A and B are shown apart, each in its own frame.
Chain A
Amino acid sequence: MEALLKLLSDNVAGYGSLASPLQYLLPMVLASLCCIALVALFPIVAVYAERKVAAHMQDRLGPMRVGGWHGWAQTIADGIKLLLKEDIIPSEADRVLFKLAPLVVFAGGFASLVVLPFGASVIVSDLNIGVLYVVAISSLGVVGIIMAGWASNNKYALFGGMRAAAQIVSYEIPAVMAILTVVIPVGSLSTQEIVRAQEGGWLGIGNWFIFKPVTAVAFLVYYLASLAEVNRTPFDIPEAESELVAGYHTEYSGMRFAFFMLAEYVNMFVVSAIGATLFLGGWNSPVFGGPVAFMLKSVALVFVQFWLRWTLPRLRVDQLMYVSWKVLLPASFVLVILAGALAVR
């Protein structure tokens, strides 16, 4: 933010003579527009990539026609199609909440982008509660999902919404505890501080938290829990197509459905980016630092999500609860205690 302000005032003639509120407002608007561009572009690329990855894992080709070269324009065409579709609201649905729910879910995914540290000075706002803010925002997303499930007034949607809520809630505690194991040695909640704490070390990667004993296990806990929080396979029972059709967004069509899809992919990116920030050194890199390194790490984690989705079968509900309450939760308890004992000495 400050960096953008400086860039503008240094390079745009007469910027300093603008009215002072406008001077601050302009970089903010630009930053928001950048985030909107990211939110719009990332799912387009990621959906295409996922279809290609899935296809090649299953020994097929995937989309090949739209746009010519390897069907690169497939998701753009899909997006335009969704925009042109009818927005159906079922007669039994609660109209107000039904219309509002996808927007709440979408806003939840979007708002997390504020604290992602893309580079040393490339961040919308370095909040002093950084990682906790992400936790708070993700808990707002649950409300949107429950709203969608309840407002649809359809048993598949309702069950999907309830299951999603129970699942996200169950996995939130291990995820937050895993985040804590990083906060303890750093002593700050700010995402930039956490990244700076991972600078240097052996080969420039030695201080990344994934290479430290306790936080390495915490990374596994975090990654599993984050998969569950974004409803990705093997934790996708809220939208298990074989029993719940499409879960909480069964009744949605057109652009409102697209908002759920956008939110899903943005959330995938956000949890991966947070994982990269906390455990993989953020924008630190032995070769080239900055936004490129950060994006590469995040996208690599997103790729692992694709990989798992097309490799693993879905868990049952009882297995899901078993993993979170009986495996990850006690493990994260122990990790926090260990992290504390190691850091205090």
Chain B
Amino acid sequence: MRNYFPLLLMFVVVAATVGAIIVLSAVLGPKRRGKVKDSPFECGFQPFQLPTDRFFVRFYLIAMLFILFDIEVVFLFPWAVVFKALGWAGFWSIFIFIFVLGAGYVYAWRKGAFQWE
């Protein structure tokens, strides 16, 4: 527990430093606003439209698969730590776990879920 206090303090010190830098830059920097300067970036012309279109479903699929494999990895960590005490029993239980998910992985591959076209 005591090990985690530096973390909290670190965040406080960082927040103070970063805040000070931002304030400093706001004080030192010029403030000359203009309609053109404040418009969204585009290569020399007015943007035709702001990004309001729907997004590609591919992103959703990637995020979904990521969650599933992430959860799997999460399960592997407690195993890796007590691994030596568990021996082969632990190894086989993880092997089955990864094997079952491997089936899901093969399914995803065959269905073209990893294909970005």
Contacts and interface: CB of A to CB of B under 8 A. Distances in A.
With a 10 A CB-CB cut-off, give which of B7, B26, B95, B117 has the most chain A CB atoms: B7
Contacts, number: 188
**Which secondary structure dominates chain A's binding surface?**
helix
A184 B81 CA distance: 6
Interface residues of B, number: 62
B50 interface: yes
Interface string A46-74: 00000000000000000000000000000
B69 A173 contact: yes
B114 interface: yes
Interface stretch (A12-20, A23-31, A217-225, A295-303): A23-31
B4 interface: yes
Contacts of B82: 187
A277 interface: no
Nearest to B94: A340
With a 10 A CB-CB cut-off, give which of B21, B69, B102, B115 has the most chain A CB atoms: B69
B109 interface: yes
Given A154-B40, A169-B66, A32 B14 contact: yes
Contacts of A188: 81
28 contacts: A24-B5, A28-B5, A29-B13, A31-B6, A31-B10, A32-B13, A33-B13, A85-B29, A87-B22, A90-B40, A103-B18, A107-B14, A156-B41, A159-B51, A162-B55, A180-B73, A187-B81, A187-B82, A189-B77, A255-B24, A255-B29, A318-B115, A333-B105, A337-B95, A340-B95, A344-B83, A344-B88, A344-B90
